Each structure stands twice: as structure tokens, then as C-alpha cells.
Amino acid sequence: MDLNKIQNLKNQAISGILEVNSASELERLRIAYLGRRGELNELLKQLGQLPTNQRVEAGRQINDAKQAIEQTLQSQKNSLPDSSKINDWLDITAPGKKPALGHLHLISQTIEEIAHIFEKIGFQRVRYPEVEWDWYAFEGLNMPPEHPARDEWETFFIDNLHHPKLGRGVLTPHTSSGQLRQMEAQKPPLRMLNIAKCYRRQADASHAPMFYQFEGLLVDQNIAITHLKGVLAYFAKQYFGPNRQTRIRPFHFQFTEPSFEFDVTCIVCNGKGQIEGKRCPVCKQGWMELGGSGMVHPTVLKNGGIDPEKYTGFAWGWGVERLFMMKYGIDDIRLLFGGDLKFLEQF
């Protein structure tokens, strides 16, 4: 027996095994080389015919070849797909599985919807700094230094940031600062929609230290409260649906006079204030507050460089998250920032 024959047989077996792509073919090769009547067993039968000095070396090479072939068989078997998971039947006309698609965050969706509704009636969306000066955030909006909103427990003041004329730097507490900036940039008539992040030192089920707010401002000649109520009622019906009713209630804000709170009927009890004879757990009375509004204070118009004897206007500022919560009956603002996919994928 030629010893080269053993080496050639091993190389031939390994090469053939590595080209196999099915378990059945792999089993056929195993039998051909390692079976009872396989190639290696036939070589073992010939060992007795060899001289003593060649028999030991031939036996060692045959064992080495057997181990190499077994290892290659096992390696190739592990690399083949699991036949139990393969369905040989294939219908190419069957619909495929669509990959999961993401979507905009709920807050981003709401911002786009708000902007789209007001664009229809001529409001121009703008953006102003999140880091604001005291003048635009407070002083120019008719809030004197002793006003409670300027207290450090309500506002995030920024250390070592001070303007010689505009005062201290703050994280903007409301989008109302955009009113003065828009008046400086554009003379009447103007219709502004400012949507931005705001910051206040509040945190509970209905408040967050960072939240989104949208501010509307309209300034022109002969603008009255009826225009204010009409625009906001239009928005409420566009956003909440045609069956939602609205109302305004007298209130007080430093930068508007007169001032109003704007309410919409509760989504949970449909404005009835009761569910099955019990008080509504959400609104208690049938109405839910959206936010503040009012006619722009003459002092604010002056500070923005507009003559209050010639022009009047109205403004409002509402929370984006609150709007979304009141549309879908959500009672905890923290759900919007929690990142829970089970919640977010519902919208």
C-alpha cells in the first residue's frame, strides 16, 4: 500500500465535504469514507500485507486521516441550516413580512398638527432662543422685578450670563418672549406661531421641568375679543373635532388685558361632568382648561415698538403636552417622556 494514497484520500474527502450544502449529501460522504465498507476501512484491511516497518506508520496515517475527516464532517454539519426549520415549499406570490416601521414621537406629531391648522389661517411659524434675556422673558412683558414668576424657585436663571441692557440670562419659561422679538422684527399686521421648549422648576403628574409650548400672536387694526375667541374656537374644533365646545373665563395675566382662561369640553365625560351618576374623575365639572389667552397689554405693544393707539392684538400660550393629553384622555405627562414603546406605539 502506497502511503501517499492515504494522504490523497484524506485531502479528497475533506475537499468534497467542504463543498457539500445539504445534510443528505454530507451523510453520503460520511458513509463513503468512514462506513463499514468505506475507503478507510478498506485501507485498514490491507495493513496486514505491509512489512512490519511500514505497518506502524501506515496505521498512524490512517488514524490521522479518520480524525481529520470526522472533524471536517462535524464542522460542515454545524454550518448547514437547520433542516427542521426549512420549508421546502415556497409560494413567491405570498405577501412578505413587512419590517417594523417607527414614527414621529407623539409630541412631534402634535407640533406638526398644530402648525398645519394655524397655517391655514395665515399664521407664520417662528422660532426663538431657548436661552433668553430677562427683558424678553419678564420685564418687557410687563412683569416687574418683584413678580412671583421671576422668583428663583420658579425660573432657571443662568449663572454668569448677564446683558448690560437686557438683564440676566434665563432658560425661557414661556414662549411669550417671542411676542416682543416678533414685534421688533415685523410691523403689523402680523400673525405669529412660536412653538418651543420651555423650562420651569415644576415636576409632578401634570408638570415637567422641560415642556413644549406654543404661542400665538395676532396684531392688527381693530382687533377685538371676538377675534380671539373665534380663532381659538376654530383651532379647538379642528384639533379635537367638531363636537367639542369651548368657552373663555376671565383671569389675570401681566401681559394681557383683559385676560382669559380657555376651556374645552372634557373628552372623558363629553362635557357632562358626570359618568354613570358620579363626578367625572378627570374634569369634575365637564370642562378642561387648555391655557391662558387675552388681548395684548398696551405696555407690551409699546415695548415691542408698536403704537397701542393704532393697533390692538391678542395672544395665547398653551402647553403642547397638555393639548395631546386632553385629546386622548391621558392623565400623566410623564408617559410622554418615558420612552415606553407599548405606550408610544398606540399613537
Residues annotated within a binding site for Mg(2+): 257
Q: Which helix (H) or strand (E) holds 195?
A: strand 190-199
The beta-carbon contacts of 226-229 under 8 Å, at least 24 apart in sequence, are 227/314, 228/260, 228/293, 228/294, 228/295, 228/314, 228/316
58 forms beta bridges with none
195-221 burial, b at 16+ Cβ within 10 Å, e below that, comes to: bbebbbeeeeeeebeebbbbbbbbbee
Q: Which helix (H) or strand (E) holds 192?
A: strand 190-199
SS (H, E, C) 12-47: HHHHHHHCCCCHHHHHHHHHHHHCCCCHHHHHHHCH
Please tell me whether residue 344 adopts helix, strand or coil conformation. Answer: helix
Please tell me whether residue 82 adopts helix, strand or coil conformation. Answer: coil
294 forms beta bridges with 259, 315
273: left (phi over 0), alpha (psi -120 to 50) or beta: left
Q: Which residues are annotated as a binding site?
A: 257
